[in-house]
Amino acid sequence: MEKKINAIHVGLSGFPFGNASINKCLAVYNILITEGISVLAINNKALHTNDAPLDIKIKGMHDNLHYQYTTPSPYIPNSFFKRRYFNFIGRIKEFFLILNLVFNRKVDVMFYYPNGNFFELVYYRIFSKLFNFPLISHYVEYRSVFKYGQNKWTSLNYNLFDKYFMRFVDGIFPISELLINHIKIRGFKGDYLKIPPLFDFNMFKGLAKSQNSDNYFLYAGSLVYEESINLILDSFELVEDNSFYLYLILNGSSDKMIKLKKRITEHKKKDLIKIYSNLEYNYFLKLLFEANALLIPLNDRVQDKARFPQKISEYTATSNPIISTNYGEIKYYFKDNLNALIAEKDSPLELSIKMSFIVNFPNESKEIGLSGYRTGLQHFDSNNYGYLLRNFVLKQVKNH
């Protein structure tokens, strides 16, 4: 009988509910779980606010994924000093939890999702080397080119990570061709498996669209991507139609939200713009499913060319047309007017032309959406990746 493989996740906290990064990991881990590999997600930080849509326990199971918080609570304390105390306790208890799992032979492989902290990676690599299990890292962003919100320590961490992280791991899950080229240039000789954004396409099967909902464009993302949000707002203003709404599903800091809302008060179509945040996931999916078109514009910069938004997989699963720009990974999967509406440049005028197409040509838009669905079914449906992922992980385990 084949030995059951036990995996632990470290690095990114927030399981089992959270942002796009959490969903990226969940897509991979849920596949592995269906393939018979047990996964425990260890959260060493409290990242949930008290207005989170679902009650989160310290320890539990969600869709067969085991998760555990090593902090006193999954919820972020209001006090600065209490937050620091929670972080300290989270690290200490995580250390002893990993040791306990190792000594009870419940760690065969460690998955790491980076937040750009190079020294954190070295810390986990020490466990991997000491106890002889493989360390596999997700690689989804080229953080050394980030320009916003950086102090010198963060900048140092990001630069060290992008230059040297590949020397501290056994396997990599890169998300884009740019990142694959980068690890090759940096001399990585190990195994990698490209994992694009994944989503279980069965989640939308059997659903029917409401006949009474608004006509609307929808964008879902983080408030961190201010350039993309501003591009969408400028583009929406240029669309010569007042029957379509713009839905923005956004999460991020309250300061950025206040700044955005202030800007919207000055927008020509302010009464047609709706903002949502902290949505329960099923309601989020409902809004995606009901949309006339889904927006995901990328900018002409290395940061956007390296990443591949998780929303792409969810978007294509709806059969609704996607509007994007011809940068980064988009050009490897989508062609304008065939399976998406692709603006050649990240300009408000070009994007508004694609949005106007949705308004003026609804039947053609639906056909493009269906073609995009077929593309997604081929490349982004998590149900297609079981064999590849299981074999990749088993190879790493057997090599140790």
Q: Which residues contact 24 (CB under 8 A, 6 or more apart)?
A: 113, 138, 140, 175, 197, 198, 310
**Is residue 90 a contact partner of residue 120, using CB atoms and an 8 Å limit?**
no
Q: Which stretches of 8-56 are DSSP H helices?
A: 20-34
pLDDT at 173 over 60: yes
Residue 1 has a pLDDT of: 42
- Residue range 192-204, pLDDT digits in tens: 999 999 999 988 8
CATH number of 6-195+385-398: 3.40.50.2000
Residue 152 has a pLDDT of: 80
Strand pairing category for 293-295 and 135-139: unpaired
pLDDT at 107 over 70: yes
Residue 278 has a pLDDT of: 79
- Residue range 337-360, pLDDT digits in tens: 999 999 998 899 999 999 999 999
Mean pLDDT, to the nearest integer, of 180-184? 94
Range in 10-14, 20-24, 120-124, 286-290 the model is least confident about:
20-24
- Residue range 184-193, pLDDT digits in tens: 999 998 999 9
Angle in degrees, 0-180, between the axes of helices 386-398 and 20-34, rounded to the nearest 10: 80
Residue 147 has a pLDDT of: 62
Mean pLDDT, to the nearest integer, of 315-326? 95
Using only C-alpha atoms, the chain has a radius of gyration, in whole angstroms, of 21
Residue 360 has a pLDDT of: 95
- Residue range 235-263, pLDDT digits in tens: 999 999 889 999 999 887 788 888 989 99
Q: Assign 325 to helix, strand or coil.
A: strand
Residue 188 has a pLDDT of: 93
Amino acid at 254: S
Helix (H) or strand (E) holding 86: helix 80-103
251: which 2 tokens?
């999460």
> Does the domain made of 201-379 have the CATH classification 3.40.50.2000?
yes
Q: Which stretches of 133-253 are DSSP H helices?
A: 152-164, 177-185, 226-238
Residue 255 backbone dihedrals phi, psi, to 5 degrees: -60, -45
**Is residue 240 a contact partner of residue 14, using CB atoms and an 8 Å limit?**
no
Residue 51 has a pLDDT of: 65
Residue 115 has a pLDDT of: 81
Residue 52 has a pLDDT of: 62
254: which 2 tokens?
């309250």
pLDDT at 318 over 90: yes
Range in 25-34, 204-213, 294-303 the model is least confident about:
204-213
Residue 150 has a pLDDT of: 65
Mean pLDDT, to the nearest integer, of 118-142? 93
Amino acid at 218: L
260: which 2 tokens?
């955005």
pLDDT category at 91 given cuts 50, 70, 90 is very high
Residue 48 gets which letter from DSSP?
B
Residue 141 has a pLDDT of: 87
Mean pLDDT, to the nearest integer, of 308-316? 92
Matching CATH topology for 6-195+385-398 and 201-379?
yes
Mean pLDDT, to the nearest integer, of 207-230? 84
**Is residue 17 a contact partner of residue 56, using CB atoms and an 8 Å limit?**
yes
Q: Assign 242 to helix, strand or coil.
A: coil
Mean pLDDT of the chain: 90
Amino acid at 248: L
Domain ranges of the chain: 6-195+385-398, 201-379
Cis ω for the linkage preceding 134 (within 30 of 0): no
